[in-house]
Structure formats: C-alpha cells, structure tokens
Amino acid sequence: MKATTGKEAMQEGTARFAWARHIAVAALYAACYMLLRAVSVSNWSLPASLRLAALLFVPYRYWPAMIVGEFLPLGFISYICREEFGTTWALLAAIPPILPCAPVVAWFRRRTRLLQSEGRVDMALLLVAMLICAVLTTAGNTAALAVVQSPDNTPLQGVTLQIVFGYFLGNFLGALTLTPVMIAARGWLMGNTRLWLGHAMARGGLLRNAFVYLVPVLVALGLIGYAGSGDTMQICRIAMFLPVAWLALRHGWQGAAVGGALASIAVAFTASVVRDPYVIQAQAIIAFAISTLLMFGSRIARQSDVDLRDHLVKEQGLLLAQQGLYQEEQRLRQAAEALEHVGQSMRDMQNRLLDRLRHTLPANEERAYSRQAALAQHEMHRLTNALYPRAWRERGVPATLQDGPLAQAVSMTGASYKCVLAGRGLSLLAPDVHMTLYRLASEALVYALTRQSIRHVELTVRGGLTHGQRWAVMRMDCVRDALAGDTATATESWKKVMSLLGAAGLGVETIRERAQIYGGGVHVRETSAGLRITILLHDALRTMKPGAQAQQG
C-alpha cells in the first residue's frame, strides 16, 4: 500500500472538516427554519427573514448546504402529507423557496452595493430584494395550493386573489420583521467586537427606548383592543406603528427595524383565528408603514453620517488650529527666554564696561550711561514680558492675571484693577488655553480702551466642568471715566497698553475668531456706564477624553 504524504493527509483532513462545516450549516439552518415556521402563519411567514438574511450574509460556498437545510423539513412535511393533499402537491411543496431566491440575491450582492461598509445598507435595494423574493415565494405557494387534491382525488377550493395576497403579505411582512434587525445587529457587530446588545445600548439607547417605552405602549394598545369592541381592536392594531415612527425619528432605520419587528409581532399576537381579514388589513398597513419608515430612517442615517463627517472635519480643523497656536506660544516662549539671556549678557557687558571706564568718565556722564543701560534693560524686560509673561512662567495663570502685565497695563492708564478667580478646575486647563485667556484679556482691554476712557477694570475668570469637558468663562467689566475728555491722551494710553501687552489691537472680530478655535464665543455689551466683554473657551481637544469628545459631538 502506498503511504500517503503529509500534504495529502492535510488535504484529506481539510476536506473532511469542510464537509463537517457544510453539514453543520445545513443542520443549523434546518433547526432555525423549523423554529420560525412553528410560530408562523400564511400571512406572517418568519422563515422569509431567515432565508433572505442567510443569503445576504452567508458565503456562496455554503448556499448548497442551506438549500439542503431548507429542503429537509419541507421534504419531511410533504412526505407525511402526500396522501392528504396529493403527490403533485408534495413534489411542489418540497421545493425549497430559497432555490429561486438565491439567484436574485446573488445578483444584488454582485451587481449592487446593497450591503456597504461599516454596517450601512441601501434600504431601497433591500426592499426591492424583499419584494422579488416575496413574489417568487408566493408563486411557489400558489402553485402548490393550486394542485392540492383531497384523498378522493377531487379538487379543493380554488386559488383566490385574497389567498394570493395573504401569501405575498406573509412573505413580505415576514422578511420585514427580522431581516432589518439582523442587518442592524451585523452593523453593531462590525462596529465593535463586544456583545452587540451592550453596544446597541451604548449607541444612543436604542434598545432601552425600544423595551422601556415601545413595548409597554404596544402591550397597552393590545390590552385596550381586547377590552373594547372589534373596531377598537382594529384601531389599536393600526395605531401600533405610531411609536415605531417615534423610534425611527430618534434612531434612524435601526430604530424602524427594531420597532417594526416588535409592532409586527404585537399585531400577529392579536389574531384570534387563522387568516383573520382584519388582522391581514392591519398587517398590510403595518408593512407599508415599516417600509416607509425604513426608507425615511435610512435617509436620516445618511444625513447623520454626513453631519458626523462634517463635525469630524471641523473638529480636525480646530485641532490643527489649536496645535498651531500651541506651537506659536512655544516659539514665543523660546524667543522670550532667548531674549532674556541676551538681556542678561548685555547687562553683564554694560556693567563690566562701566567698571572699566568709571575712573576715566566724569560723574555726570557715568550717571547718563547708567540710566541708558537701565532703560535698555527695562525695554528688554518689557519686550520679554510682551512675548511671554515671566509671571506665567514662574507662578502660573492666577498670578499673571492678578498682578502681571495686565494689572500693570491698567495701572498705566490711571484706572483701578481687580481680578477674581472662581469656579473649579481653572488650573487644570491646557497651557495654551491659559495663554489664550491672557491674550484675549489683553486684546479685550485694548479694544475697551479704543472705545472709551476707563477708570476701573474688573476681570472675572470662572472655570468649570460639564459632561467631562472643562471650560472657562472670562468677563471683563470696564467702567467708563465720565470726566476724561482728552482724546489724544486716550489714544496714547491704549497704544502704550498695546505695546506693553504685545496685543495686536485688531478688534473684537479677532477676539471672536480666537475664541471659536477653542469652541467658544464672545459677547460684547456696551452701555453708557461702560463696556462688558464675555469670552467662553473650552479645553483643548487634545486633552479631552474620547467619551467627552463623543458627547460634544
């Protein structure tokens, strides 16, 4: 006997494993089919959902196994009922409906973008596929019913339009009941590998709203219908699509899918007899409502995706702008430190030079040179503070706002100054937000001085935390000096302040644009008593947690 090689043994094992997978798929499909068939009727056929969802999701290589899995229960039922309904009926009834539906779904999968990436779906194409599969399945059911014969070979009741419509409605509504829910579950699983139930709860509370609000409403409508007359029950059945519309408005087509499934089940449970014409009428309305809401919800979902992409693009732009400002502040800090080192070197050089020339210079010239050296050092210090305040580098933002260059600038104009820091978490904001507060306070002061003479400035800065996102509100109240009247002096005053603070003095629009980079805004209120400028800033995006960013979006 020829010994088998390792490669041949591996191929043989793989083939056996492949056959085992096909057998498992056939057995699982047959079990699910029998389970759904047991709770179905002709006007509400849940196996249609299983059939369409399996054809949409399962790879092509397992389709023969699914055909066998559907043939097994149908063939068994046809065999045991062949004597009651005839051999011809048994042969037609044993044909699995998945067989004619498979080429249709294969065409949709290959030629269209019915199922898209990230769990998105073209709802119009899905409904068309449902309609075609429902028509094909109805044709098979009608053909089987048309050849039914009694045991004495006499034909039974003929096929009527009402029966055909019942078959079509049952297959279409059955597909509408579970197929969209399965597609939604697939999308949730694609979005996260966690248990899809928990993930759905996290995605806006869809299942919470469905089971906490929708189910009690459906149960209440059913109880009201049972307690009332037949007309009351019919009104309650039709009204069951109203909470589905609410769920679709809140959660898009996923809400319509989950709500439609629950409403369809609720309507089916109100049936007291098989093929109740009133139930069929209500189911027809529910099927139309679910189809419309799925289309409408799909439109909402697409618009939500567009809005989300726009928000992400905007957020990315703000993040880049914030990073640019942060890098600019870092460069200014480096420039200020370098300038400080240059000033120190100049001071040392001037001191050594004066020490050497002290014995050769007259006393008045030595004092003049000393004053000029001190003035140069003062200008160097002022320029360094304008670039990047020394108080902020050494003591942080509270000292910078309370007794830093801002207080010196207000004092230079002859006005009084008061700074109040309140709230919580102000020191926990990003460093560039601190510097932006200081820069905007400087610009606001210069803007106020260009509008009026000031005798008192009160700066209030409050920090806070809302939904995991830190923020700061800065309010500058400038009290008008009614006695000041020299315009030239006022102009000279704000120019000195602008030079001291390193402000651009470009007006309130510049302040507003800088605040918008940090997701904030500016409000200016000018009265006869003075001027109030309120600025809101949020924390830098790079410091926010993902959960806070999601809540902000």
- CATH number at 487 reads 3.30.565.10
Nearest to 146 by CA among 133, 135, 134, 160: 160
Lowest model confidence (mean pLDDT) among 153-167, 204-218, 537-551: 537-551
The answer to whether 472 touches 422, Cβ cutoff 8 Å, is: no
Last residue of a domain, one of 161, 189, 216: 161
Q: Average pLDDT of 45-73? A: 94
Helix axes 431-451, 277-357, angle to 10 degrees: 80
> What amino acid occupies position 454?
I
Assess whether pLDDT exceeds 70 at residue 102.
Answer: yes
Q: Is residue 389 domain-resident? A: no
Q: Dig out the tokens for 157 from the structure.
A: 């009741």
pLDDT tens sequence across 502-521? 777 778 888 888 888 888 88
Residues 537 and 520: their CA atoms lie apart, in Å, by: 5
Q: Which amino acid, 325?
A: L
Parallel, antiparallel, or unpaired: how do β-strands 416-423 and 454-466 relate? Answer: parallel
Q: Tell me the pLDDT tens digit for each residue of 138-157.
A: 999 999 988 887 776 666 66
For the record, the structure tokens of 153 come out as: 């070979």
Residue 468 domain boundaries: 396-552
Report how far residue 42's alpha carbon sits from residue 144's, in angstroms, rounded to the nearest whole number.
13
- pLDDT number for residue 443: 85
Structural domain includes residue 416: yes
8 Å CB contact between 529 and 535: no
Whether residue 374 is contained in a domain is answered as no
Residue 545: is its pLDDT beyond 90? no
- Cβ neighbours, 10 Å, residue 278: 16
In percent, how much of the chain has pLDDT > 70? 83
Residue 542 pLDDT level (bands cut at 50, 70, 90): low
pLDDT band, residue 220 (cuts 50/70/90): very high
**Tell me: the pLDDT tens digits for 232-272?**
888 998 899 889 999 988 888 889 999 999 999 998 888 87
- pLDDT score of 275: 75
Q: What is the pLDDT of residue 553?
A: 39
Residue 303 belongs to a domain: no
Of residues 337 and 550, more confidence is placed in: 337
Please indicate, yes or no, if residue 323 is contained in any of the structural domains.
no
Q: What is the pLDDT of residue 157?
A: 64
SS (H, E, C) 95-145: CCCHHHHHHHHHHHHHHCCCECHHHCECHHHHHHHHHHHHHHHHHHHHHHH
pLDDT greater at residue 489 or residue 44:
44
pLDDT computed for residue 194 by the predictor: 42
* 24 pLDDT higher than 60: yes
Query: Is residue 192 in a domain?
Result: no
Residues forming a β-bridge with 465: 470
358-390 burial string, b = 16+ CB within 10 Å, else e? eeeeeeeeeeebeeebeeeeeebebbbbbbbbb
Q: What is the pTM of this model?
A: 0.66
Asked whether the predicted pLDDT for residue 204 surpasses 70, the reply is: no
Per residue in 362-419, pLDDT (tens digit) is: 777 767 777 777 777 766 766 776 666 766 666 777 777 888 788 888 888 888 888 8
Evaluate whether residue 514 is within a structural domain.
Answer: yes
Under 8 Å between Cβ of 404 and 441: no
Based on the structure, what is the number of domains in the chain?
2
Does 236 fall in a domain?
no
pLDDT at 138: 94
Q: How confident is the model at residue 118 (pLDDT cuts 50, 70, 90)?
A: low
pLDDT digits (tens, 9 = 90+) for 314-339: 777 777 777 777 777 777 777 777 77
Q: Are the beta carbons of 430 and 508 closer than 8 angstroms?
A: no
- In which residue are the tokens 């920090």 written? 463
The more confident residue out of 201 and 152 is: 152
Nearest-angstrom CA–CA distance, 219 and 196:
25
What does residue 183 show for φ and ψ, rounded to 5 degrees? Answer: -65, -40
Query: Which two structure tokens, joined as six digits, stand for 460?
Result: 């209030």
Picking from 114-118, 167-171, 354-358, 474-478, which range would have the lowest pLDDT averaged per residue? 354-358
Alpha helices, H only, 358-418: 363-387, 390-395, 397-403, 405-412
Of the candidates 108, 141, 161, which is a domain's last residue? 161
Question: What is the percentage of the chain residues whose pLDDT exceeds 90?
Answer: 27
Q: Which of 161, 187, 219 is the last residue of a domain?
A: 161
pLDDT reading at 214 higher than 80? yes
Residues shown for the chain: 553
